Amino acid sequence: MNLSGKVILVTGASRGIGRAIAIELASKGAAIAINYSKDDEGAKATLENVIKNGGYGKLFKKDISNYKNCRELIDEVIGTFGKLDVLVNNAGISKFGLLMDMSLEEIDDLVNTNLMGAIYLSKLAINNMMRNGGNIINISSVWGEVGASCEVIYSATKGGLNLFTKALSKEVASFNIRVNSVAPGVINTEMNNVLDSEDKEVLKNEIPMMRFGEAHEVARVVSFLCEDKCKYLTGQIIRIDGGFI
């Protein structure tokens, strides 16, 4: 129970990596603010799993792609729990296809959700962390380091998130606020359902460990970053990709 007493906001926690993070952190004793945008049933399932694992959580339905919603979300979390110790910027969307075929709306959605949402929430969270310190963890991607064809804007948003992490960590370190990114490789979640079985086999053969990662494996890295034992670790991009990159 090494996270006992901590309040942690996890965005995009209705499924996939976000759900796994919420469950893992709750099992370590943290109180979890479970944010989601649309999937009511998925969010309820996350909360049920949090409780089943001996944790405590509350649901917060907000689309974090605009500043107004982000401000309301932080205010509601602080109003409910009285503080915010850790922000996990996990919410993200993907769009598979050529850049030339993407609409401006699709591009805006990717940038606003994957990058601007994390920026908005971090800006707001910092104001509540400056007195007692805090922790911001951004869920990035290996594509933010090397880029992926047919996922150009997604890659750009994750690359931006990585540099945001490094720059912000320098800006807030004196306030005892740590900022790090976790950059997963190919993880076995719904986001990769766009790949057919043949594509998946090709990808697996390119990964030295010969398999996709699991959401709970990413969650364990996030859990480590939440712990006080790594107080000197900041400004880092931590890859979990089975040796892919």
Per-residue tokens: 239:
């890859």
What does the alpha-carbon distance between residue 59 and residue 70 come to, in Å, rounded to a whole number? 15
What does the alpha-carbon distance between residue 166 and residue 61 come to, in Å, rounded to a whole number? 29
In this structure, are residues 188 and 217 in contact, taking their beta carbons and an 8 Å threshold?
no
CB atoms within 10 A of CB 181: 28
CA-derived radius of gyration, the chain: 17
Is 120 a residue of the active site? Answer: no
What does the alpha-carbon distance between residue 22 and residue 56 come to, in Å, rounded to a whole number? 10
Closest CA to 240 of 51, 21, 86, 57: 21
What does the alpha-carbon distance between residue 60 and residue 10 come to, in Å, rounded to a whole number? 10
Query: Which positions ≥6 away from 45 have C-beta within 8 Å?
Result: 14, 19
Q: Residue 215: helix, strand or coil by DSSP?
A: helix
The per-residue DSSP string of 25-75 comes to: HHHTT-EEEEEESS-HHHHHHHHHHHHHTT-EEEEEE--TTSHHHHHHHHH
Q: Hunting for tokens 């959401």 — which residue is that?
A: 215
Of 56, 67, 154, 232, the catalytic one is 154
Closest CA to 241 of 180, 187, 189, 197: 187
User: Which amino acids are annotated catalytic?
Assistant: 154
